[in-house]
């Protein structure tokens, strides 16, 4: 197969980090630009992938805005995740094994993102795909599904049946709620719209609380009292998360994996850490995979089976052609409840 010298891509306009700003994407222009760039060559342990479909995760938005915990490299393509076909590999046998295969991939630390016609990923961050998996599921196969399995594993290890989720209507939380329902756990989902209550309840949430509702504070208190959750999986931080953590019972663990609220959280109750053995920690999939190679392998198989047999399904808001991405992505992302993809 002959590769072109150049390709279309959405290129980062910023470098390094930027000060916190709201987590929604108000426009593409300040952060990425449509452009042409040379098709990269994979290093020894890497793969060059012809991208079929690239996903847009909340972490991508945080990253292009300079608010994700990894520095941007100006002029490189954005996009953490996608699905495609391996068209070239490095010399390492672990990379060569993937030649010609259809893979889900995470670009992680390669600086060659998925919002482009071609992407580079470490072979270790690629998953060979089973037949029968839709592109829409495969393109969102790593970040959300593995995070869901890993974080629900934390809930199971902790023991208590009830647990709390902020950003409860996100694709990630829907996956977690599905897992929890199957195993008899009781997710308490915090959302911001009443129309999210019915679908999440149908999926398996034991309680869905609208943080904008007038009776939210009282409902939260009652639910925490009845359910005694211990794990709090938080994508938000800020005052919303602090209030939940402060109201949680003994031995509560606040596990932060995202920061949708730019406002900082204030630790008003250090006495709860001391006398109630509460704690605060983070979750990062990359670190979890590094520390749990076996768990990762299991999760990869489990996630594919769930998508193929229909227990999981990626809700699709839109598949936007790369050429229309600059104009359409912010508007599509603003729609609730589904995922937005870029098609090169």
Interacting residues toward a copy of itself by CB under 8 A: 67-70, 237, 256-259, 264-268, 270-284, 287
DSSP string over 35-71 = EEEEPP---TTEEEEEEEEEEE-HHHHHHHTT-SSS-
CB of 316 to a copy of itself, least distance (A): 27
Minimum separation from the CB atom of position 281 to a copy of itself (A):
4
End-to-end CA separation in angstroms for the chain: 18
Residue 105 vs 257, nearer CB to a copy of itself: 257
The residue (of 230 and 278) whose beta carbon lies closer to a copy of itself is: 278
Looking at beta carbons only, is 198 or 267 nearer to a copy of itself?
Answer: 267
Smallest distance, Å, CB 292 to a copy of itself? Answer: 13
Q: Could you tell me the smallest distance in angstroms from the CB atom of residue 295 to a copy of itself?
A: 16
- Which CB, 70 or 201, lies closer to a copy of itself? 70
Closest CB to a copy of itself among residues 262, 308:
262
> Residues for the chain: how many in total?
344
82 forms beta bridges with 54, 105
- Bridge partner list, 9: 35, 116
Question: Closest approach of Cβ 277 to a copy of itself, in Å?
Answer: 6
Q: Which residues pair with 279 in a beta bridge?
A: 253
Pair type for strands 102-106 and 126-128: antiparallel
Q: Which is nearer to a copy of itself, 70 or 85 (CB)?
A: 70
Smallest separation (angstroms) from a copy of itself to the CB of 80? 14
What tokens were used for 340?
């937005």
Q: Give the C-alpha separation, 167 to 276, whole Å.
A: 26
Instruction: Name the CA dihedral angle for 262, 268, 270, 275, rounded to a multiple of 10 degrees.
Output: -130
- Directed axis angle between helix 143-158 and helix 293-308, to 10°? 110
């Amino acid at each position: 197969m002959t590769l072109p010298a150049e390709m279309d891509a959405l290129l980062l306009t910023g470098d390094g980090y930027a000060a916190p700003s709201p987590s929604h994407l108000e426009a593409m222009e300040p952060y990425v630009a449509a452009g042409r760039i040379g098709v990269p060559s994979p290093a020894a342990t890497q793969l060059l992938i012809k991208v079929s479909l690239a996903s847009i995760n909340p972490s991508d938005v945080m990253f292009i805005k300079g608010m994700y915990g990894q520095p941007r490299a100006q002029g490189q393509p954005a996009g953490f995740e996608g699905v495609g076909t391996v068209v070239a590999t490095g010399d390492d046998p672990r990379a060569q094994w993937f030649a010609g295969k259809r893979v889900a991939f995470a670009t992680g630390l390669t600086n060659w993102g998925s919002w482009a016609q071609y992407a580079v990923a470490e072979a270790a961050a690629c998953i060979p795909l089973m037949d029968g998996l839709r592109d829409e599921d495969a393109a969102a196969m790593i970040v959300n599904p593995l995070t869901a399995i890993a974080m629900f594993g934390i809930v199971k290890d902790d023991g208590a049946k009830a647990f709390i989720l902020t950003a409860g209507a996100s694709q990630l939380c829907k996956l977690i709620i599905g897992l929890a329902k199957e195993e008899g756990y009781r997710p308490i989902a915090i959302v911001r719209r009443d129309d999210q209550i019915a679908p999440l309840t149908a999926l398996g949430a034991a309680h869905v609380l609208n943080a904008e509702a007038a009776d939210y504070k009282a409902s939260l208190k009652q639910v925490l009292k009845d359910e005694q959750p211990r794990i709090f999986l938080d994508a938000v931080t800020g005052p919303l998360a602090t209030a939940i953590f402060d109201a949680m019972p003994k031995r509560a663990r606040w596990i932060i994996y995202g920061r949708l609220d730019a406002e900082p959280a204030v630790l008003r109750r250090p006495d709860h850490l001391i006398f109630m053995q509460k704690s605060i920690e983070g979750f990062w999939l990359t670190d979890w995979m590094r520390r749990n190679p076996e768990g990762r392998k299991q999760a990869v198989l489990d996630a594919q089976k769930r998508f193929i047999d229909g227990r999981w399904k990626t809700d699709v808001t839109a598949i936007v052609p790369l050429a229309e991405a600059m104009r359409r992505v912010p508007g599509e992302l603003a729609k609730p409840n589904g995922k937005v993809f870029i098609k090169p």
